[in-house]
Structure 1
């Protein structure tokens, strides 16, 4: 069952940790976060989504060392005044998210970890994940899988996988700050590196509640995704 909504005024302090430390390999080496969607850089759109969301109190941006100054200037240009820290990430996502948690304000009870390359996330998606995590400790937005899924063995289709049991997970994934720190620290000590923060929390035996995601909440990974994002914005404007 998907998470239920809760009044924003009841929420504890929430810090968004925006992970922007990737190398953009599948974008041909060009920094995808500085590419423009309808005239606005991807990262600026992402930061603005959390700037406008009433459920978010602070923002921490995690990036490569060489991007700290450019991203800081970009945030100033787009009036992202919730941004409290821009900090250097690590070699893996686990290390980068840990760096973001460490840089979060001490009074932050929840952290909302979001991909810097998901610029079209809506306030509704953010808020539902936050309110559900405030009640249960961990939550993440999901969308049903559209395609038929097959299990492959030795290059052959071996079996169908029931589509109604599957979902694609998105961000922001929201957790109690102490819970996520414990999960990622444990993963780092064991030499594990998760591409998804839910997996780290689940490895402790904690249940992550599913909330409503959106098919518009796409991740910019390849050049074609810029075109898709612009088309989605055009449809929204109309």
Structure 2
């Protein structure tokens, strides 16, 4: 009796695009090279995607002067999935598009993640990617903790129901063709985008909300460094 061998299902190629081209104005120095318990912010971000089994490639998008330092950083911390480090554009959409254009031709999905979010949990990455493969677009969100008010002329005029809003995080994950088209059209129209989801929303595409994490904070100001280190110390 002969048994037919089951054909192994081939997973689509997935790339993580890491925008890291900001000037860190509010920090006063390159925040991505600041240490968090001895490991630079960007290195922690890269390692999160290096360790994700769903991610095949990592593309870093940064300023011209940061290409060499970031390349050295990736080598030092064994980030073997880093395929390219490319120069960003004048705006975030232009920078993200530069990263998308550098992905391998057969890349089907992309996870776009802020370089300054070094504590992103694996569960957040994997849930967003999996949802994007099902629906074409997904992003992690967390509920807001504070009461939300609508303001007009310096006065509180109304409550906003917290169950109808959320704070969006990254990685924001998409079908590569969808987000490429969306960004090109947004750039051509001069549209002001608050994030990458806004680009596909312009096309009428709904973005699936997945579970974010309060640990997935964005390092923006000096006060965020001790907060991130405190979160890391909780793991020890």
Determine the structure 1 residue equivalent to 2:6: none
**1:151-195 Cα deviation digits (max 9, x unpaired):** 000000010000111100000000000000000000011012413
**1:181-214 Cα deviation digits (max 9, x unpaired):** 0000000110124130001110000010000000
**1:91-129 Cα deviation digits (max 9, x unpaired):** 100100000000111111001000000000011100000
SS at match of 1:109: strand
SS at match of 2:50: helix
Shift of 1:72: 0.3
* Runs of at least 5 residues in structure 1 that lack an aligned partner in the other structure: 1-8
Q: After superposition, where does 1:52-67 map in structure 2 within 5 Å?
A: 52-67=51-66
List structure 1 runs of 4+ shifted beyond 2 angstroms.
Answer: none
Distance in 2 of aligned mates of 1:16 and 1:10: 19
Determine the structure 1 residue equivalent to 2:3: none
Distance in 1 of aligned mates of 2:50 and 2:160: 40
Q: After superposition, where does 1:1-238 map in structure 2 within 5 Å?
A: 11-28=11-28, 30-237=29-236
Distance in 2 of aligned mates of 1:165 and 1:12: 34
SS at match of 2:107: coil
TM-score calculated relative to the size of structure 2: 0.95
**1:133-160 Cα deviation digits (max 9, x unpaired):** 0010000000001110000000000100
Distance in 1 of aligned mates of 2:45 and 2:143: 23
Residues 11 and 134 of structure 1 are in contact (CA less than 8 Å); yes or no, is this contact kept in structure 2? no
SS at match of 2:26: helix
Residues 94 and 193 of structure 1 are in contact (CA less than 8 Å); yes or no, is this contact kept in structure 2? no
Structure with higher RCO (Cα < 8 A, 6+ apart): 1
SS at match of 1:233: helix
Distance in 2 of aligned mates of 1:68 and 1:222: 23
- Give the aligned CA root-mean-square deviation in angstroms: 0.9
Distance in 2 of aligned mates of 1:10 and 1:118: 30
Closer, same or farther: CA 132–10 of 1 in aligned 2, 3 Å? farther
Shift of 1:75: 0.3
Residues 94 and 195 of structure 1 are in contact (CA less than 8 Å); yes or no, is this contact kept in structure 2? no
TM-score calculated relative to the size of structure 1: 0.94
Distance in 2 of aligned mates of 1:25 and 1:147: 27
Shift of 1:10: 6.6
Residues 59 and 82 of structure 1 are in contact (CA less than 8 Å); yes or no, is this contact kept in structure 2? yes
Distance in 2 of aligned mates of 1:59 and 1:194: 23
SS at match of 2:229: helix
